Amino acid sequence: MKKYKIAVAGTGYVGLVAGVCFAEKGHNVICVDVDKNKVETMKKGISPIYEQDLEQLMQKNYAEGRLDYTTDYKSAYKDADAIFIGVGTPEMPDGSANLNYVATVSRQIAETIEKDCLIVVKSTVPIGTNDKVEQFIKDSLVNDVHIEVASNPEFLAQGTAVKDTLEAKRIIIGTQSKEAERMLMEIYEPFNLPIVSLDRRSAEMVKYASNDFLALKISYMNDIANLCELVGANIEDVAKGMSYDPRIGKNFLNAGIGYGGSCFPKDTKALKYLAKQYGYKLRTVEAAVDVNSEQKTKLYKKACDRLITFNGLKVAVLGLAFKPGTDDLREAPSIDNIELLLKQGAKIYAYDPVAMDNFKKRYPDNITYVESPEDALKQANVCFIFTEWKEIKQIEPRTYKALMKTPLVYDGRNIYDINDMKEAGIEYYSIGRKV
């Protein structure tokens, strides 16, 4: 195996996980970030994000000398064999991707590198961005070196990011030359995973097409769940029947209150925007976005039909993160619902095993944060479940009856069996299932 000197720009979900996994596979890696305090924290083996197994691998590879962190991009980039760009591309108000961070890193690379180098864009970027990055770097080069730009989109899921990287179903690489293809294949050789080699623009499109298809699948199931409620069918039985068809598969068939996180909301809007720029309307993707937007507050609307007001009521909120296994709150349904509850004057008692500190940064006041689900439920008038953490799934139905002033539960993740809740004396509402 050939060991490469790799620099990674950005230490968020994409950059940090990639850098740590490259080091785990034997490469020499230095991760670059502008935040000095963040870098010092990572040097101590503390991850800035909550992600299973990440801290353990950070500590191991740092101790063994294959992994380091710095704010000095000049020293990191100047003699790197490959530089992976893993900075954020946040959503703009119009749905387009903000490429300012990618442009900043590209300029730094152009002004710094002193040897031939492969620049690899892992950030999720609109189709054609890699072409622009390559031209921008070539136009700005200070030294007489040869550079190429490759696309290498990531397909990790928050909560399982390390596993998804080390045991990926496939690695997508997009290159414009045999030399760039060869080098990327050598970098990934120790992963011993299937590699799909494409041209750059096709590789960029694979990322969007994959994420948007999964988002579409989620919104489709939620749409069917809403119809199930009207016609008296059970979405879980419907999903089970569908799952046996290999053309459909069993994943992403769970109905609920919609998707969130850093990928699906941003990527659906970005592809919709891109299509519009070319005069094309992505009707299926637009429908997925619309369904998801309405789905997030479906349970709140159900509760409004049941209650005259939330003013002065104690509301237990169980789960704040957009999914289990992460502390990420981006596009989390909890935020949309809590905004509405606060406007109505609800007294919110919130619990999440991981994401409460992040939520406190958004809502330092007006919410009481508690250390256990039971503390949230004590004398509560109503309970909303927004995240299916195991700590929440383990709560026995009788606990709601015993602790709540009014055992009224709105479950956005269909955690409980309807009959179990009914037998426990709980007024229970979920998504797409018979009451």
Nearest in space to 19 (alpha carbons), one of 2, 34, 7: 7
Alpha-carbon distance of 352 to 146, in angstroms, equals 50
Q: 133: which residues sit within 8 A by CB, 6+ positions away?
A: 85, 102, 106, 119, 121, 149
d(CA 84, CA 16): 11
**Catalytic position from the list 31, 117, 228, 263:** 263
Alpha-carbon distance 128 to 282, whole Å?
Answer: 18
The reply to whether 263 belongs to the active site is yes
**Which run of H or of E encompasses 75?**
helix 73-77
The single-letter DSSP state of residue 190 is: G
Helices (H), 323-394: 333-343, 356-362, 373-377, 390-393
Residue 31 CA, chain-centre distance (Å), reads: 21
Q: How many helices (H) and strands (E) does the chain have?
A: 19, 14
Question: What tokens appear for 16 in the block?
Answer: 């940090």
Please name the residues in contact with 29: beta carbons below 8 A apart, sequence gap of 6 or more: 6, 7, 8, 19, 20, 22, 23, 61, 66, 67, 68
Cα dihedral 95, 96, 102, 104 in deg (nearest 10)? -90
CB neighbours of residue 226 within 10 Å: 17
Catalytic residues, which ones?
263
